[in-house]
Structure 1
Amino acid sequence: MTRSRLVLPALAIAVLATAVPSAAQTPLPATPAEDPLDARDARRVERMEKVVRELRAIVFQLRDTGKPVVVQPADTDARMQELSDRIGDLEQTLRRLNGSLETATFELEQAKRDNAALKTQIQGLADRLAAVEQAAAQATPAAGEEQAAAPGSEGNPTEAFAKARQLMLAGDYDGAEAAFAGFVQTWPDGPKSPEARYWWGKTLSVRGAHAEAASAYLGAIRGWPQTSWAPDAVVELARSMVALKKPQDACRTLAELPKRYPKAPANVTSRATATRTQAKCA
């Protein structure tokens, strides 16, 4: 705050203090008839008396304290108000900046959380895919090895496959099971081997051999072949998992169906929906 210092010379103030009060203390006439001054002169005298009193107070303060007398400028209140207004403006600006900073910080944290959630989701999908592929890779033809050599296991693979299919269409599931098992044993890497494993799994499911059926279905869909029977093999694998009380594996298998076979027939997708309900998939 700006202050102006006014140090009054002791000698001049003393003169004012001794000379002016004598005139100021002179009694005025008591009645208007004896008053030689008009109303305007009377007010002027009153102002002069006020100034004299203030000067005397300053002189006495200087005499008693021995310190310079500080006289406050007339516009001190105005300047204080101006400074107060400026401080208020600065506080409002600071509040706005703080609000903007808090908003930016919140948006940044939200973006970080969204990014982390997206990474988790991607990792979850990758893990599910890896689990299904690992299960398919670990599948063993143990059930097939236990089967005895079936009719048609020798000779032409096309004829052997057709004979096994004919047995199944005729309702001879035991004969079809033996025929497809023999086919897989004889031609494990043949072009018809995945489909033979699929039909073999069907015959195993009919007699409730769910573990052997799951192994056959896994062998059938290894590599996710783009064939007409592959989507149904995925659903049958999930159904076997449910029967084996492995609902999580069933759900992981069903999760791959729309990604691997987006154009699966309606009857397959409806069975997949029913199986998902049985497994209580999320």
Structure 2
Amino acid sequence: MRLGGVLLSCVLALAPFAGQAQETLADIRQDMSVLFVEIQKLKRELSTSGGTSVALPSGALDRINAIESELQRLTAKTEELEFRVGRVAEDGARRLGDLEFRLCEMETGCDIGSLGQVPTLGGASDTPSAPTAPVANPQTGGTQLAVGEETDFRRAGEALASGDFQSAADQFAAFRQTYPGGPLEAQALVAEGRSLEGLGNTRDAARRYLDAYAGYPDDAAGPEALWRLGAALGALGNLAEACVTLNEVSGRYPGSSDAIAQAEAAKARYNCQ
């Protein structure tokens, strides 16, 4: 498994664990520490000096010792798992940065020194995102938009829908500069990538898809960003990375039937196994 595949496998490895517990590992470990202290207090109460007329249940101290031992074992396992999750997240971020670096190398005029540091992966919600809606109908997840934000987004989307790719690319780029980090950022990145593909600029398009997926994997645009990234990598001749990336779409976004169908079609084009 090569660069992209290892990265995406890391992302998938984190998702099931996050979905099984609402508390963080640190919360669980803290709860165990509190229980351990309470066990110690109880043991001290059972080990008071002097005689007593109270008869303790048979085997009470043995059971407390067994509980204490089990708490120690669970605490150690929790710390080990927390360490492994941290290592996976760091490794995934490093490999994602490598992929971005390679895309920059293939892009004429790309300034490698201007590439930002990819944030550590992990900690995101594992709830599968809904398929991306058409550009003309942006999804905000209930977030309040700035004045004119939706209007500007729709106007750029109309340019894309009409086939005016240069205008659409310019408008989506301007949109992201005007509303940086807004609720439509990921969808704007994907739409800008589509516009760039329409202009034949697949390398820049792949960069936009990568930025959308890396920065907003749980956004509504996540499924589309991932399959389009895989398809763009294939178009650039990176077939191994393309196939592994496309293979991850169904696992990362099992509820996104449209993205899965698109990924399967792209896999067929590139003869992915």
TM-score, structure 2 as length reference: 0.46
Judging by fraction of residues, say which structure has more helix: 1
TM-score, structure 1 as length reference: 0.45
Flag the structure with more relative contact order, 1 or 2, with Cα contacts below 8 A and sequence separation at least 6.
Answer: 2
Bigger Rg over Cα: 1
